[in-house]
Structure 1
Amino acid sequence: MKQKVIAIVGPTAVGKTKLSIEVAKKFNGEIISGDSMQVYRGMDIGTAKIKIEEMQGIPHHMIDIKNPDENFSVADFKKYVQQYIKEISARNHIPIIVGGSGLYIQSVLSDYNFSEEKRDDALTKKLEAEMEAEGIEPLYNRLKQIDHVQAEKIHPNNFRRVIRALEIYEKTGLTMTEYQMHQQKEMPFDSMLIGLEMERSMLYERINHRIDLMVEEGLVEEVHKLISEGYSNCQSMKAIGYKELIPYFRGETTLEESIELLKRNSRRFAKRQFTWFKNKMEVNWYNLTPLTISEKFNEILIDLAGFLKS
């Protein structure tokens, strides 16, 4: 039996941290940061590092393990995280990887096996059109006939997963269950990826608000401290949240210009994150709105309970 691992992914500011705490409390989990920048000490506000009081007593790993002038690669991340997964599993706890650094997370879960079946846009659109015309029930019933094991794992309202399972079958001739068994021969863990998404204008509004809060909490002072400690030319300082403010301290831009640039870069980064996860990994997506967050979190907890029992 392969060790079960949960991963919570998606663009910045979408709500991954809040969900991760709920999942950890429900399933006796420990959280592993999947963010490539949260490993650095002193880079707290700009990386949206979780605060002690937000952890609610849940153990967190891969935070504050390097100085800003130390190198840290995908290979390093993979080595550290796979070791943490072993240690957490030995305590009979569930490892939960949380973050937005897609390649880093993929390196752990896929063991650099990038052979996942690519999406067939035409087939996806055909199935989506059927759903819009007839509703999800006929598609879900078709899935139950084709692959009852997968149907039991998928909530009938999770149309993305229903469509993906049917797409795999129509394209490869394999059921999703058969396909996953084939893939898992190459995978070091039995993993389930939970993806959070949000309507773009709503997400961008949350990103802008988060950056305003970061500035209020002392982001400018944090960057100034790192510069004064001699880290301005380090690779870590090229990250979003830091590189935009360095020109301000050189007198090349105003603070307002630097903050606007940071917001723009963060929005663009969120778009790239979302595109990357959509194209590169087999993610179960859940769309959030302010009114449905609680409902969606409950749905995710139900789906994860099914995964952990299987």
Structure 2
Amino acid sequence: MDKKPLVVIVGPTAVGKTKLSIDLAKALNGEIVSADSMQIYRYMDIGTAKPTPEERQGIPHHMIDVIDPDQEFSVAEYQRLATKAIDDIHRRNKLPIVVGGTGLYIKSLLYPMNFTDASYDPELRKQLQHEAEVMGKEYLHKKLQAVDPKTAARLHPNDVRRVIRALEVYHLTGKPMSEYNQELEKMGYRYNVAMIGLTMDRAKLYERINQRVDQMIQKGLLCEVKRLLDKGYTRDMISMQGLGYKELIDYFQGKISLEEAIYVLKRETRRYAKRQLTWFRAQKDIEWINVDELESYQALVEQCLAYIKEKLNINFQNHLLNS
């Protein structure tokens, strides 16, 4: 049975994935499936750089505004809902375009990963959570470094939930999570995939990140965070630990000045972009495009369309004529 087609657009934050994916969807009769671990939350729009209804230009977007900020959400749940959306897009003879910077979300769609049988140890989780609170997040991260340096390298110490999960996998199986990832990559993709990675000069990317943070502040990020706090959402929730939220909560709680909060947000976003690049650089089958090396944005769109058409071996001619 032939595998169904799937386009995937990856890359660091602020590199231009959203605009490109919308233009590709318009040209290819596609719909977009977000692979962003923050855009799943309702009421969190500015800080997550969600495309506005105007920016979406009528292109359906899936896996955005899925849950409230106080709800739990796992990779397994993302895989289930996003796969369902992809199947529905295929049934309507449209092309699904997965776009985002959350590597594990994307990997859960590409490979036949089975999360339903994943073992867990609630007592161990409680113990590790207690260690993080008493000894500090860095202490827990160093424990992971000792048994699974590859996974530790891609996880930030603040990402306590995933650090705990990686330690739990090692404790239960005796094998580091990175080994499971290597085994997964030996399997074939579940779709016929055309995967494009966007990159650009590091200094230019960092400047774009700084500008984006300034724009978020201008658009009302402070008001957005204040509304979330007024609704009763708190800093200890996973959603509120996202970039742009935890920094401004510290400001509202009087721990730092607004100037310091913005400085920290820019710095942490730049570090996050660097980790994203490291993650995606280690993945196979990505067609990397340096947007700085192209003469125009239109040239980028045309190069992506040509690659997708060739890689998926599908006749998009009718749609391309209208692009």
Deviations 1:79-113 (A, max 9, x none): 11111110000000000001000111111112349
- 1:297 alignment partner, one of 274, 294, 301: 301
SS at match of 1:280: coil
Aligned mate of 2:194, from 171, 177, 192: 192
Contact kept, 8 Å, 1:45 with 1:222, in 2: the verdict is yes
Amino acid at match of 2:313: K
Output the CA distance in 1 between the equivalents of 2:271 and 2:63: 25
**Off by >6 Å, runs of 4+ in structure 1:** none
2:242 is equivalent to residue 242 of structure 1: no
Amino acid at match of 1:249: F
What is the identity, as a one-letter code, of the residue corresponding to 2:109?
V
Establish whether residue 37 from structure 1 lines up as the match of residue 38 from structure 2.
Answer: yes
TM-superposed CA distance for 1:184, in Å, is 9.0
Aligned partners of 2:24 and 2:305 also within 8 Å:
yes
- Offset at residue 278 of structure 1 (A): 0.5
Q: Give the counterpart letter for 1:283 in structure 2.
A: I
2:263 and 2:205 map into 1 onto residues whose CA distance is 16
Instruction: Return the offset for 1:185.
Output: 6.2
Cα distance between partner residues in 2 of 1:242 and 1:68: 12
Summarize deviations over 1:32-88 as a string: whole Å, max 9, x none: 111011010000000000000011111111011100000111111111111111000
Question: Does structure 2 retain, via aligned residues, the 8 Å contact 1:6–1:95?
Answer: yes
The residue that corresponds to 1:256 in the other structure is 259
- Match in the other structure for 2:209: 207
Equivalent residues of 2:111, 2:187 under 8 A apart: no
Contact 1:193 1:283 in 2 (8 A): yes
Whole-angstrom distance in 1 between the partners of 2:29 and 2:45: 26
SS at match of 1:234: coil
Cα 1:207–1:109, aligned 2, differ >3 Å: closer, same or farther?
Answer: same
**Aligned amino acid, residue 33 of structure 2:** I
Contact 1:36–1:101 (CA under 8 A) maintained in structure 2:
yes
**TM-aligned CA deviation for residue 219 of structure 1:** 0.4
Q: Which residue of 1 aligns with 2:274?
A: 271
- Provide the rounded CA distance (Å) in 2 between the counterparts of 1:292 and 1:110: 34
Deviation at 1:246, TM superposition (A): 1.0
Q: Using the alignment, how far apart are the partners of 2:284 and 2:68 within structure 1? A: 30
CA distance in 1, matches of 2:103, 2:242: 15
Q: Deviations over 1:1-26 (max 9, x none)?
A: 11110010000000001110111011
Report if the CA contact (8 A) 1:184-1:190 is conserved: no
Residues 1:87 and 2:91 are matched in the alignment:
no
Counterpart mapping for 1:147-158 below 5 A:
none
Q: What TM-score results when the alignment is normalised by the length of structure 2?
A: 0.72
RMSD of aligned residue pairs (Cα, Å):
1.6
Native 8 Å contact 1:9 1:100 kept in 2: yes
Aligned to 1:54: 55
The question of 1:229 aligning with 2:228 is answered: no
**CA offsets per residue over residues 160-198 of structure 1, 9 Å max, x none?**
xxxxxxxxxxxxxxxxxxxxxxx7963211111110000
Counterpart for residue 21 of structure 2: 20
| Rounded Cα–Cα distance in structure 1 between residues aligned with 2:219 and 2:46 | 7
Q: Secondary structure at the match of 2:246?
A: coil
Q: Report the Cα distance in structure 1 between the residues aligned to 2:86 and 2:93, rounded to whole angstroms.
A: 11
Deviation track 1:200-227 (CA, whole Å, cap 9, x = no partner) reads 0000000000110000000011011111
Sequence identity percentage: 50
- Whole-angstrom distance in 2 between the partners of 1:283 and 1:252: 42
Amino acid aligned to 1:227 = L
2-structure distance, mates of 1:291, 1:45: 30
CA distance in 2, matches of 1:38, 1:194: 21
